[in-house]
Each structure stands twice: as structure tokens, then as C-alpha cells.
Amino acid sequence: MIPFILRRLTTLVPMLLAVTLLVFILMSLAPGDFLTPVKAQRDINPALIAELQKSFGLDRPWYQQYALWLGNVLHLDFGYSWTYKVPVAQLIAQRAPATILLSITSLLLAWTLAIPLAVLAAARPGGWIDRLTSATAYFALAIPEFFLALLAVWMAARTGWFPIGGLTSLDHDFLSPAAQFLDIAHHLILPTLVLGLGGVAGTLRVLRANVLDVLQAEYITAARAKGLSEKVVLFRHVLRNALNPLLSTIGYAFAGLLSGSLLVENVMNYPGLGRLVYEAFIREDQFVVLGSVVVACSLLIVGNLLSDLALAWSDPRVRYGR
């Protein structure tokens, strides 16, 4: 098992190299750089611009800049944000909790809704639960997340039932801890729904097919023949086996949630990594972009590794490393 984990982690290195190199080339090809807005201000001295260019290394060719950055990364220094003058790692750590919170709530929403619904739907294929969930799932899959986010913002603005974006109210600082908790929960409802709904639909469709498959298996007939109740058959025997393929996709799901949150965060004014990265891209704040790309790639690979491990744990037939 340990060699397997190590082997998987070493694949991270070439992948990160390739991805960061690509991002670096694309950013250097893009017109302008971080100092373009400064250059367009009328009362900034050219000597200051030259000095800033030098201190940022923007006067050197891109491959030199990239080599310098790589050298620093080897010492676990991901560089400084030019905008905020704060180490990139610190900046990401500042914004990550909000995004992780949103990812967890959406994943929870997706699984807690999808699993029971899928089992119920598969138990009576063609029944009203099945037809209703199928129709809803197709509908949810057909709506892009950003559009759903816009709809949610519009709904919030029209009805006033939910706050329009953000994670906390303006008077959050003045509230009691319990009220602060409720305040955050209130703000999380819409983004969670928007980000989680696609996940509900996707998970539901995959799981329903799996459950149907497993229901045909002979050991299910055996279990029923033993006289086990339908509930026990469905949730202990069928579900346990049907979940395995789903476990191996959870890593992708997590990485997908992060990229989805980039859109949703920007539309819904949510204070997480997505907004930070988007603003860094617009401003061409190189090291923040690179740092967040590194985080996203690592999450994808580590997420997949974790889901493989989860699969090995849940399915005794799966063995790695030998």
C-alpha cells in the first residue's frame, strides 16, 4: 500500500511542472503585465515603474522568471503576491476555508440527497419516484452552474428571502456567536444549492444504474430468499456494492467542485479562492495564479488517491501494490 501511495505522489511532480510551465507561457503571451494599469496613470514617475519592473523581475525573459520561481518553490517558497505584498501561501490559506466550507456542504448535499433517492428510484424502476427524479436530474444537468447562480441571485434579490451573495452579513461582527453561526448558514444555502445540484443529478444517475445492476446479482436473490427485509437488502447489500464505482469518482468530484466554485463564487460574490484566483488572473498577479494552479492540481491528484484508498477499504477485492 505504501509504495502505491508513493508512486502516485511522484506522478504529481511531472504533472505540476507541465501545468505550471503551460500557465507561465500563456501568461507571458497575454498582452500587458501586472504593471500595465500603473503605467496608464498620469502621475507615476517612470523611474518608479522601472524600479518596480526590476524588483518584480518583469524586465527578464519569461524562462528566466520561471526558473527563478521553480528554484524558490524547491525551498517551499511560492513567492509573493505583487498586489497584496503577502506570501502566496498565506493568501491562499486566508481564502481557502470559505471555499472548502462551500465544497463540503455541496458534496454533503449531493450525497445525502442522491444516495437515498437513487436507491428508492432503482427499487421500483419506472415508478413515480424514478420518473420524477430522472426528469429533475436531467433538468438539473442541463442548466449550467453559472446560469443557476444568476437565477439564484435574481431570486434572492426579488424575494429577499436570502442574502445577495457574501458569506456574512454586514453586522456580522456585532452578532452573538450563535447568531453568527446562523448568519453563515443562511448565506451558505444558495451557493450550496447552486454548486450541489449538478452533483446531486450526476451522482443520482450513476448510482441508480449501479443499483439496478446489483439488483440483478444472484446474491441479492439469495438475500431475499433468506427472508431479509427489503430495507436491509437495499441499504446493506445492494448499496454497499453499488457505491464502489462512485467512490472512485469522488476525487474528480472534489476537484470539479473547486473549479465550479470559481464561477459560482464570482457570480455570487462569495469570498473564497475562486474570486482571489479570478482577480489575480485579471491583474496578472503571476505567483498567485501559479500558486492556485499548484493547489488545484495537487487537490485533483490527492483527491483521486484518497478515493482509490477509500475503494480499497470498502471493497476487499481491490488490492494495490502487489
Give the footprint of other proteins on this chain (CB under 8 A): 30-33, 36-48, 51-52, 55, 83-86, 90-91, 94-95, 101, 104-105, 108-109, 112, 157, 161-175, 179, 182-186, 188-189, 192-193, 266, 269, 271-272, 275-276, 279, 284
Tell the smallest beta-carbon distance from residue 182 to other proteins (Å).
5
Residue with Cβ nearer other proteins (41 or 216): 41
Residue 203's alpha-carbon distances to 28, 44, 65, 107, 300, in angstroms, are: 39, 55, 43, 10, 18
Give the dihedral sign, CA 114/96/297/310: negative
Closest CB to other proteins among 223 and 267? Answer: 267
Least CB distance from residue 316 to other proteins, whole Å? 32
Shortest distance (Å) from residue 22 CB to other proteins: 20
Q: Judged by CB, which is closer to other proteins: 159, or 216?
A: 159
Distance of closest approach, residue 289 Cβ to other proteins, in angstroms: 15
Tell me the closest approach of the beta carbon of residue 314 to other proteins, in angstroms. 24
Looking at beta carbons only, is 33 or 308 nearer to other proteins? 33
* 201 neighbors 140 (Cβ within 8 angstroms): yes
Nearest distance from residue 41's CB to other proteins, in Å?
Answer: 8
| Closer residue to other proteins in complex, CB, 257/311 | 257
CA dist 210 and 77 (Å) reads 45
CB-wise, 21 or 44, nearer to other proteins? Answer: 44
CA neighbours within 13 Å on the CB side: how many for 307?
18
